[in-house]
Amino acid sequence: MSDLDAAAPWSPQQSVADLLRQRREQIAQRWADLPLFRSVFTVTRDEAVEAAQSVADALVVVAASGRVDDIEASGFDSVRTQIGRMSAARSRAGLSVGRVAGEVAALKDAVVELLTAELAGAPVEHQHAAVLYAAELLSTLRLVAMQTMFNEGQELINRQRQQLMEVATPVIKLWHGVVAVPLIGTLDSARSQVVMENLLDAIVAQQARVAILDVTGVATVDTLVAQHLLKTVASARLMGAECIITGIRPAIAQTIVQLGIDLSDVATRSTLADALGYALDQGGLQVRRTDGRTVSAGESR
């Protein structure tokens, strides 16, 4: 009977934890040659071995705790980020989620092989219980890897979505002291918040006295969108800028009236050009035509 059977009473929990602790170096050496480690840690093999040892150490903690089926077990915390990054690196290399999951699952083979050898002289029921316990532990590790990989992917999507919203919501300087935000597409709460933040930042940076919100490209306006626009107008006023809404099409105007939304306190103009002319008039500026005629900036001709 092996040294793993010496402790009494025997338990698969203690048996697997002892194996991982006592055979840590052997396990790490085998893992270092597997694609999951070998293809990620490419500088030196020692780097892969060290990473594998840290994973083995974490599994010792989880195995000893008895929480082998719990992806939130504290023992996984020390390697959650590392395993997730390794999985993400394999995914970026072109592997499918299923392939990456398979590479993580392959870590089980070395553990089960060593465990079977250690318990060769133990009762069959002990062998089966220990192997089942180890398999459950490594299966949970695979779930931890997939969860971390998914979370990192979701964070990347959220960052890209935020960047896309910022790119899709530019603040344009039309004139000294006049900025505009051309809105195109659908406005939701998240994008409306980006609009407000970008506009307020531009008002400060450009020392703008007039901010124009052009909704020509907005397909529909509901109560929520209108409320966001009103909040943006109010915020701009608090920053010392007058806010003008332009491009309200007939259908949207009817919708606003039907919804009972009061925009009477908000300056509106039919087009962006009209709003710019109004802003220049407010600044006491005049536009001189090429024929020499001086006209008000607000005139269409």
pLDDT of res. 62: 92
The answer to whether the pTM exceeds 0.75 is no
Q: Quick count: other Cβ atoms within 10 Å of Cβ 290? A: 5
Please enumerate in sequence order all residues whose Cβ is within 8 A of that of 127, keeping only pairs 6 or more positions apart, or say none.
Answer: 116, 119
Which 3 state secondary structure label does DSSP give 295? strand
Q: Which residue has the higher pLDDT, 284 or 258?
A: 258
Phi, psi dihedral angles at 184 (to 5 degrees): -135, 135
Average pLDDT, the chain: 84
Domains of the chain plus CATH, in order, are 3-162 (1.10.490.70), 172-296 (3.30.750.24)
pLDDT of res. 295: 55
Please enumerate in sequence order all residues whose Cβ is within 8 A of that of 250, keeping only pairs 6 or more positions apart, or say none.
Answer: none
Please report, in angstroms and rounded to a whole number, the separation of the first and last CA atoms in the chain. 101
Tokens of 200: 């307020």
Which of 3-12, 38-47, 126-135, 177-186 is predicted most confidently?
Answer: 126-135
pLDDT in tens, 125-184: 999 999 999 999 999 988 888 887 777 667 767 776 666 665 557 889 999 899 999 988
Least confident of 31-35, 136-140, 282-286, 289-293: 289-293
Please enumerate in sequence order all residues whose Cβ is within 8 A of that of 1, keeping only pairs 6 or more positions apart, or say none.
Answer: 121, 122
Least confident of 20-24, 52-56, 69-73, 219-223: 219-223
